[in-house]
Amino acid sequence: MSQDHTLMGFVHRRRRGAELFLLLLALAVGIGAYAAVGLGMEGTIPADIVGYGGWLTALIVVAHVAIRIFAPYADPVLLPLVAALNGLGLAVIHRLDLDNTSQCVDNGDFARQQLIWMTLGVVLFVATLGLLRDHRLLQRLTYTTGLAAIVLLLLPMVPIVGNTVNGAKIWISVGPFSFQPGEVAKVLLVIAFAGYLVLHRDALALAGRRVLFIDLPRGRDLGPILGMWAVSMFILVFQRDLGSSLLFFGIFLIMLYVATERPGWLVVGTVLFAVGAFAGWRAFGHVQNRVNIWLDPMAYYDQNPGSGQLVEGLFGMGWGGLIGRGFGGGAPCRIPYAESDFIVPAIGEELGLTAVMAIIVCYGLIVERALRIALISRDGFGKLMAVGLGSIFALQVFVVVGGVTGLIPLTGLTTPFLSYGGSSLVANWVVIALLLRISDQARRPVPRLSADDSDTGSDSESTQVVKLR
């Protein structure tokens, strides 16, 4: 942690005014898109534009004020990015609601529900910032969160609450509510990984055999990675959820590599994953199916299970071209689940390559901000958490956008902040709150300590003054 001292002299500006300005742009995207949907679908600006716009503005303002109060030094770009994506997602879901053709007929009012979920997300966002004044408190909960994550992952397998949707056992139902525990589990897992790795990183970093300029880890340290691999395989086999399996293992691998600085772990992890994926491909028809469809989507268009959904998405995006057909000009309802997994093709069809690029750049910026937070964070736990949370977005967006555009085999994952789905939206708002909390801690000026400044020992981490409440 030697660079901490070079940062000492530099004081980050709060940049809350910049954040407010960017938020205004984000609101213009969200409300403008909503108005455009009304114009495109019904020919007039929707009558409830004031109520809707007001509600959206209120939520964003509340989030902004919460940051001003609870995390004044937090990164100023993250919230505007999220606000823009969430606003655009709401407008697109609203557009799909208004469509009365084919698949969209029984959509009802997903947009209204999504707005309620967003409200809940913002409430939890504010609560996280307000209640969690220092992210290092979470380090105490390493094993608790780990256990909770595993319980949540197992819940869908429990007979009464578990619920199978489209072949994937990733839902639980409690009364009228259904919920994807995996979305919460991924946040808890990142916290547990960070807490575990920051304690055991030194042991895990010990070099074992050296092969081709890469130090492989020692055999006796393989326990954690094998355990995580087993969890991923369990999810793949018993919940038939390719996407989550890849996501969890990928996050763990990245965090392990960052904690130990040993590329050898990447080698071990990649080999393990390749073995698992190959075994899964050999053993399961649905995995083979996905791969075959990926290799030649057109050939399976009319079959069941086939590539109809993927190909309709590809057709839609191809038809959208550079600037899209405009809201109401496309037929995104030809794509089953256009409002959730396939929202990017729906956007591509009506808003074109331009919007798809903009969305990818937004996600890229979120990841970039998260990794930047990790770089400047002063504590190992915060670094690992920020890397983990950023990787969630990177991997999830790559898997889902890559899947629907035919870059990689399709696996079901939601598109963060855009897709319809309460669990995902709420969990992602909390992720952003956690990132902002770490960012606030990292950018906050360090209290001047007269004597210890000259101490540049390697144990500076342990002598750091931590403000705990």
Q: Which of 254, 346, 418, 431 binds another protein (CB under 8 A)?
A: 254
Strands (E) across 74-218 are located at 162-165, 168-174, 177-179, 207-211, 214-217
303 binds another protein (CB under 8 A): no
Q: How far apart are CA 386 and CA 395, in angstroms?
A: 14
Nearer to another protein, 77 or 148 (CB): 77
Here the tokens at position 119 are 């409200």
Within 10 angstroms of residue 69's Cβ, the number of other Cβ atoms is 11
Query: What does the per-residue mask of binding to another protein show for 322-341, with x meaning CB under 8 A?
Result: x-------xx--x-------
Q: What angle, rounded to 10 degrees, do the helices at 181-204 and 223-238 form?
A: 160
Nearer to another protein, 160 or 322 (CB): 322
Residue 290 touching another protein (CB under 8 A): no
Binding residues for another protein, total number by CB under 8 A: 52
In this structure, the number of other CB atoms found within 10 A of the CB of residue 320 comes to 26
Question: Is the peptide bond preceding residue 305 cis, with omega within 30 degrees of 0?
Answer: yes
Q: Which one-letter amino acid corresponds to residue 279?
A: A
d(CA 201, CA 461): 14
Q: Which of 337, 364, 446, 460 binds another protein (CB under 8 A)?
A: 364
Q: Return the range that interacts with another protein (CB under 8 A); candidates 18-26, 75-83, 319-327, 451-459.
A: 319-327
How many whole angstroms from its chain centre is CA 60?
19
Q: Is residue 22 involved in binding another protein (CB under 8 A)?
A: no
Could you say which of 136, 383, 437, 443 contacts another protein (CB under 8 A)?
A: 383
Residue ranges in 127-166 that form contacts with another protein under rule CB under 8 A: none
Pick from 84, 155, 397, 436 the residue near another protein by CB under 8 A: 397
217 with 272: CB under 8 angstroms?
A: no
Backbone angles phi, psi at 210, to 5 degrees: -110, 120
Enter the tokens of residue 340.
Answer: 């959730």
Give the integer Cα–Cα distance in Å for 392 and 398. Answer: 10
Q: Closest separation between CB of residue 401 and another protein, Å?
A: 5
Residue 459 contacts another protein per CB under 8 A: no
Residue 367 Cβ vs another protein, minimum distance, rounded to whole Å: 5
Residue whose CB is less far from another protein, 117 or 393: 393
Interaction of residue 319 with another protein, rule CB under 8 A = yes
Among 123-131, 276-284, 401-409, 412-420, the segment contacting another protein (CB under 8 A): 401-409
Closest separation in Å from C-beta 178 to another protein: 30
Backbone angles phi, psi at 38, to 5 degrees: -60, -45
**Binding window for another protein (CB under 8 A); candidates: 214-222, 225-233, 388-396, 424-432:** 388-396
339 vs 379, beta carbon nearer another protein: 379
Rounded CA-CA distance 132/116 in Å is 24
Measured from the CB atom, the residue of 356 and 410 that comes closer to another protein is: 356
Q: Buried b / exposed e across 439-456, counting CB within 10 Å, b at 16+?
A: bbbbbbeeeeeeeeeeee
Binding mask 258-277 for another protein (x = CB under 8 A): xx-x----------------
Q: Show the beta-strand stretches assigned E in 52-186.
A: 162-165, 168-174, 177-179
Tell me which residues in 89-118 interact with another protein (CB under 8 A): 101
Asked whether the CA dihedral 342, 343, 344, 348 is positive or negative, the reply is positive
390 near another protein (CB under 8 A): yes
Is residue 250 within 8 Å of 408, Cβ to Cβ? no
Angle CA 437–149–409, to nearest 5: 95
| CA atoms of 252 and 266, how far apart (whole Å) | 10
CA–CA separation, 3 vs 360, rounded Å?
Answer: 31
> What's the one-letter identity of residue 36?
A
For residue 8, the minimal CB distance to another protein (Å) is 16
State in angstroms the smallest separation of the CB of 222 from another protein.
19
Q: In this chain, which of 363, 417, 420, 429 binds another protein, going by CB under 8 A?
A: 363
User: Does position 257 bind another protein by CB under 8 A?
Assistant: yes
Q: CB 359 → another protein: shortest distance, Å?
A: 9
Q: Which of 54, 407, 455, 456 contacts another protein by CB under 8 A?
A: 407
DSSP state letter for 46? -
Considering only the stretches 118-126, 223-231, 309-317, 444-452, report the one whose residues sit in contact with another protein under the rule CB under 8 A: 309-317
Q: Which is closer to another protein, CB of 27 or CB of 293? A: 293
User: Pick from 113, 59, 88, 40: which is nearest to 363 by CA?
Assistant: 88
Q: Which residues bind another protein (CB under 8 A)?
A: 3, 101, 254, 257-259, 261, 298, 301-302, 311, 314-322, 330-331, 334, 348, 352-353, 356-357, 360-361, 363-364, 367-368, 371, 374-375, 380, 383-384, 387, 390-391, 394-395, 397-398, 401-402, 405-407
